[in-house]
Chains A and B, each alone.
Chain A
Amino acid sequence: MTIPLSGKDVASKIEEKFPGSVVESSQDNLVVKGNFLLDAARFLRDTEGLDLDFLNFVTAVDYYDHFEVVYWLSSLEHNHSLTIKARCYDRENPVLPSVVGLWQGADLQEREIFDLFGIKFEDHPNMKRIFLWEGFAGHPLRKDFI
């Protein structure tokens, strides 16, 4: 069985390395600040014992007052998994750093989030719409779209 890592334990490790980076944590997941996302992600991938080298999926959820971007990571070596989240409070121009440099698998998925939620990922090599055409008004998966 894939063992879900405790968000609390991992959060304390991240907090130790990057003070002030964790917003909140629970047994199931942890939320980091957007500007610490890349540091935290690199830490999770490269730290011995964590080795979260496989990004299962990235997606976003619209909670009206903020967007939550969800990263589901796992380690093929240790067979454990972790959910890490980051929030964007700016609805007009939401921005987060791209993790494509760490996990190339995020490439098309971040484009999908940009297309359907309008969240921009900084330093993504090809940040443009993926399913809908250029000039399509709005981002359909936002709760206020219809």
Chain B
Amino acid sequence: MAVRTEPFVLNMGPVHPSTHGVFRMRATLDGEVVIDIEPVFGYLHRGIEKLAEQRTYTGITPLTDRLDYISSMSNNLAYCLAVEKLAGIKVPERAEYIRVIMAELQRIAALLIAVGAFLNDCGAYFTPFLYMFRERERIVDLFEMVSGQRLTYNYMRAGGVSQDLPEEFMPALRKFMDMMPRFMDEYDRLLMQNEILIARAKGVGILTGEQAINCSVSGPVLRASGVNWDIRKADPYSIYDRFDFDIPTQATGDCYDRYRQRVEEMRQSLRIIRQAMEQLPSGPVRAELPQLIRPPTGEAYARIEAPKGELGFYLVSDNSIAPYRCHIRPPSLINLTALRDMVRGWKVADLIIIFGSIDITVGEIDR
């Protein structure tokens, strides 16, 4: 006798450890197989784009901290670049180097969380996560030295950075740079050939290169699908054209590749920081600017390679002290476009790790 079956709707989230914030997925299941999913957003929507229209150009920087709140430095940088492009501000050399050091440290910190949380989703419950947090802690300490904050740094300003590096910063950074490669080798030994990780992640949730491009996917997820595209190389901003580094790519675009991609990117970031430390010039860290910036009428789009992908700010100015329109291009939201195609046909347990391998922050999705 045939058993009558019907699809079943499972609500995951908004409060669920694997959703990395307040995010909900409505999954339609056939037994244990995912037929369809619908992401549901909006639980953290604060209307940052609207708030920005009522603030001065300098007053928006703290708002950007709250987008992707685990990589505030990158958000600051992207926003400041957009204002500088719009108003034609030139940044002093030393500030450019400090920005690169901060942005790359931030990339390492954010990727550590991404990798740790992904391994968490794979079932390595909190052991690797805490290892990663041990290293991230040192980066956060460095950020605390320069900005006084541990999460929302608000360190960069249009025209430079808020203040010069304190005396104790460089010795601490050097110490970190000596230790970090050792830690990375440790992760590789523990995880790269880990049988459980390979069994869970290899060949799961494949995203092809063409599909990734069509879905506007960017960042490590795009490069893990074999597309060699990194804005630091393709459209160098700040002073990235002065550093020697490689863009790692992977072949298949499965969850394991996305994991590997992130680990390899951390090594490249270390290379960039090392070069920036050697070349760091002395001088002012902030351009002389009026209190209120009044850019000429026009529009500008500036983008950076943030830890999660292409983060951009599209600003429209009407020659007043506040932007007429401030649009944020959120990599977290746009990378999720491909999620539906990636999870169809996989089991519920795979859904968790495919979703985890994309690496999102809800603050950036909802804005």
With contacts A105-B215, A130-B42, A131-B366 taken as known, whether A2 is within 8 angstroms of B234 at the C-beta atoms is yes
**Residue in chain B with minimal CB distance to A28:** B299
Give residues of chain B (326-360) contacting chain A, Cβ–Cβ below 8 Å: 327, 329, 333-334, 336-338
Cβ contacts under 8 Å, A28 to chain B: 299
- Give CA–CA (A112, B310) in the complex, Å: 18
Say which size band chain A's interface belongs to. 20 to 34
Cβ contacts under 8 Å, B216 to chain A: 54-57, 103-106
Indicate whether A10 reaches chain B with its CB closer than 8 angstroms: no
What 1/0 mask marks residues of chain B from 309 to 330 whose CB sits below 8 Å from any chain A CB?
Answer: 0101010100000001101010
- Give CA–CA (A79, B301) in the complex, Å: 16
Say which size band chain B's interface belongs to. 20 to 34
Indicate whether B214 reaches chain A with its CB closer than 8 angstroms: yes
Cβ contacts under 8 Å, A130 to chain B: 41-42
What 1/0 mask marks residues of chain A from 79 to 117 whose CB sits below 8 Å from any chain B CB?
Answer: 100010000000000000000000111111100100010
Contact (Cβ within 8 A) B337 A107: yes
- Closest Cβ of chain B to A26, distance in Å, is 11
What 1/0 mask marks residues of chain A from 57 to 89 whose CB sits below 8 Å from any chain B CB?
Answer: 101011000000010100010010001000000
Indicate whether A132 reaches chain B with its CB closer than 8 angstroms: yes
Partner of A53, one of B213, B299, B329: B213
Indicate whether A140 reaches chain B with its CB closer than 8 angstroms: yes
Indicate whether A141 reaches chain B with its CB closer than 8 angstroms: yes
Indicate whether A137 reaches chain B with its CB closer than 8 angstroms: no
Contact (Cβ within 8 A) B47 A54: no
Cβ contacts under 8 Å, B327 to chain A: 57, 59
- Closest Cβ of chain A to B92, distance in Å, is 22
With contacts A53-B213, A57-B327, A141-B49 taken as known, whether A131 is within 8 angstroms of B314 at the C-beta atoms is no
Contact (Cβ within 8 A) B236 A104: no
Cβ contacts under 8 Å, A145 to chain B: 50
Contact (Cβ within 8 A) B336 A108: yes
**Residue in chain B with minimal CB distance to A57:** B329
Contact (Cβ within 8 A) B324 A61: yes
Contacts between chains A and B (CB distance < 8 A), count: 77
Indicate whether B303 reaches chain A with its CB closer than 8 angstroms: yes
- Give CA–CA (A133, B234) in the complex, Å: 39
- Closest Cβ of chain A to B338, distance in Å, is 8
Indicate whether B142 reaches chain A with its CB closer than 8 angstroms: no
**Residue in chain B with minimal CB distance to A55:** B216
- Closest Cβ of chain A to B137, distance in Å, is 33
Indicate whether B227 reaches chain A with its CB closer than 8 angstroms: yes
Indicate whether B186 reaches chain A with its CB closer than 8 angstroms: no
- Closest Cβ of chain B to A12, distance in Å, is 22
Partner of B333, one of A1, A62, A108: A108
* Residue of A62, A108, A141 ringed by the most chain B CB atoms within 10 A: A108
Cβ contacts under 8 Å, A56 to chain B: 216, 301, 303, 310, 312, 329
Cβ contacts under 8 Å, B338 to chain A: 104
Contact (Cβ within 8 A) A2 B49: no
Contact (Cβ within 8 A) B50 A140: yes
Contact (Cβ within 8 A) A76 B213: yes
Indicate whether B217 reaches chain A with its CB closer than 8 angstroms: yes
Interface contacts beyond A103-B216, A106-B216, A116-B49: sample of 7 additional A-B pairs, CB < 8 Å, sorted by A = A55-B216, A62-B325, A104-B216, A131-B42, A132-B42, A132-B45, A141-B49
Which 8 A-B pairs rank lowest in CB-CB distance, beginning with the nearest? A105-B216, A131-B42, A2-B235, A59-B327, A57-B329, A131-B45, A61-B325, A104-B215
Subset of 11 A-B contacts with CB under 8 Å:
A1-B235, A1-B236, A56-B301, A57-B216, A59-B314, A61-B324, A72-B314, A76-B234, A79-B234, A103-B214, A133-B42
